[in-house]
A = this chain, B = another copy of it.
Amino acid sequence: MTQSHASNIKPITERDANVLYQHGTLAQLVPGLLEGTTTIGELLTHGDTGIGTGEGLDGELIILDGIAYKVGPSGVAEVVPDDFTLPFASVHRAAFQYQCQRSDIGLEELNKKIVAANGRANTFFSVIVHGTFSFIKTRAVIKQQAPYPTLEQVADQQAMFLGHDVKGTMLGYFSPLMFNGAAVAGFHEHFLSDDHTIGGHVLDAVLERGDILSQVFDTLVQHLPVDDPDYRSHDFSNDPIAAALAKAEREPRKD
């Protein structure tokens, strides 16, 4: 076997394909620890596929085929540079396996069927759905400035987007119950339309027709911002982590 030195593309080993890399924890966002403590450039050394949010909740990130897109309050996706910083992200090397095709199914039902089909509620895995969505509802938080507010305080500072008959990709991560806090237990899904005009954190969807692919991980590599002074000194013991994550991940703003 020969190796091309002109290419950065590395073959995916079985070992790589089983690993989910996460920087930061979702629990950090609850009390407003929103400083960017890693970069897109660094994340891309751990995977070509992922989701995250920028410093100060600057947009909803989705990484597909090694390119990082950010959806901010305009709803339109833009490519972000390697030095863009993030407090939280999940990435992996794509080696998805085809699971099935589904039609006319809502998000909740779709997610239930995915868990049932692979019987893996205690395992980290990723799901990618590409197809036509008859309905998609996403949101993007508006970027905050330091000193940062809590996650609950930014609940009314979101832009929400509704799309109909949209072709696009929904990328999600499923985390087991016992890792709630590090991630959000259950699914965490971001979206990007093929034409990049709509995307963000998925609140609801109806899939008209699409292919479901999944990738199971046996290993979580959890990297923490251990030298960030705000992270080091924060007392998490009184933060309402579980309640705040459940609310923030699924509910749109109340207005």
Give me the interface of A with B, judged by CB distance under 8 Å: 25, 27, 119-124, 176-179, 181-182, 216-224, 226-227, 231-237, 241
Contact = CB atoms under 8 A, between A and B. Distances in A.
A226 B178 contact: no
A33 B177 CA distance: 16
25 contacts: A25-B178, A27-B178, A119-B232, A120-B226, A122-B224, A122-B226, A122-B231, A122-B236, A124-B224, A176-B224, A176-B236, A177-B236, A178-B181, A178-B182, A178-B236, A178-B241, A179-B182, A216-B226, A217-B226, A218-B224, A218-B226, A218-B227, A220-B220, A220-B222, A221-B222
B178 A232 contact: no
Contact of A234 (B27, B122, B182, B227): B122
A218 B24 CA distance: 10
A223 to B, nearest CB: 5
A122 B182 CA distance: 12
A124 B176 CA distance: 20
**Which of A119, A121, A219, A222 lies at the interface centre, i.e. has the most chain B CB atoms within 10 A of its CB?**
A222
Contacts of A227: 218
A168 to B, nearest CB: 30
A215 to B, nearest CB: 12
A226 to B, nearest CB: 5
B224 A222 contact: no
**Which of A221, A234, A237 lies at the interface centre, i.e. has the most chain B CB atoms within 10 A of its CB?**
A221
Contacts of A179: 181-182
